[in-house]
Amino acid sequence: MLNIALPKGRLGEVVFDMFAAAGYDCPAIREPGRKLIFENESTGVRYFWVKPSDVSIYVERGAADIGVAGKDILLEYAPQVYELADLHVGKCRMCVAGFRDFYDDPDRTLRVATKFSNIARQYYAGKSRLIDIIHLNGSIELAPILGLSDVIVDIVETGTTLKENNLAVLAEILPISARLIANKASYAFACEQIETLTRRIRAIADRRNP
């Protein structure tokens, strides 16, 4: 059995459809209910739904052989896993955002609110800009509005959250998408199985992103 950690939610459903199309279907997963683990002996897969930001933890520690995680999580937490394929789904951008007319005074330390402290730190280090990181866990857009920070570093997908809160993208840091990842030991032991799966999934992902 290949243990596969899928990110719970809308992205996970899209990703599961890709696995199913690649020949790794598991009809039980589509039945309504709150079960978290599903297996299909005939295709040799066991899926489990995991909080998206936890997928890389399951894979890194070997509780899952493979999984699907956002590039944002991989960059932020740098888990020791193999990144096997870009699935070209879950696309968004990691951005600096704030009030459209924000003036960045270089003589002042920039206050940056974010869930992605390491990505933010690395981005500003590359600009030799002194910053004060304010680590938050959600609703990051509130921070500049309430004067908690000058800017935010956050994921922008449709841009609706920024727009509806009168904020704007000030700089783009990097594009993000979902990645197929593997546990290093699993990859060594089940190399052929994982490579076959990767090849099939990659073909489906590339078809979506010609």
Q: Which residues sit at the interface with ligand PRP, rule CB under 6 A?
A: 138-141, 154-161
Shortest distance (Å) from residue 207 CB to ligand PRP:
25
Cβ proximity to ligand PRP: between 39 and 72 the closer is 72
Cβ proximity to ligand PRP: between 79 and 90 the closer is 90
Q: How many CB atoms are closer than 10 A to CB 160?
A: 9
Q: Would you say 148 and 142 are in contact if contact means Cβ atoms under 8 Å apart? A: yes
Which residue's Cβ lies closest to ligand PRP? 138
Cβ proximity to ligand PRP: between 21 and 89 the closer is 89
Nearest to 58 by CA among 69, 42, 70, 45: 69
Reported as half-sphere exposure (CB side, CA atoms, 13 A), residue 135 has a value of: 6
Shortest distance (Å) from residue 183 CB to ligand PRP:
26
Cβ proximity to ligand PRP: between 65 and 141 the closer is 141
Shortest distance (Å) from residue 32 CB to ligand PRP:
24
SS3 assignment, position 190: coil
Q: Is 146 exposed, middle or buried (0-12, 13-18, 19+ CB in 10 A)?
A: exposed
Nearest to 155 by CA among 65, 89, 92: 92
Cβ proximity to ligand PRP: between 10 and 34 the closer is 10
Shortest distance (Å) from residue 160 CB to ligand PRP:
4
Q: How many CB atoms are closer than 10 A to CB 7?
A: 25
SS3 assignment, position 75: helix
What dihedral angle (degrees, nearest 10) is formed by the CA atoms of 4, 59, 194, 207? 70
Shortest distance (Å) from residue 119 CB to ligand PRP:
13
Phi and psi at 204, nearest 5°, equal -70, -40
Cβ proximity to ligand PRP: between 24 and 49 the closer is 49
Shortest distance (Å) from residue 52 CB to ligand PRP:
9
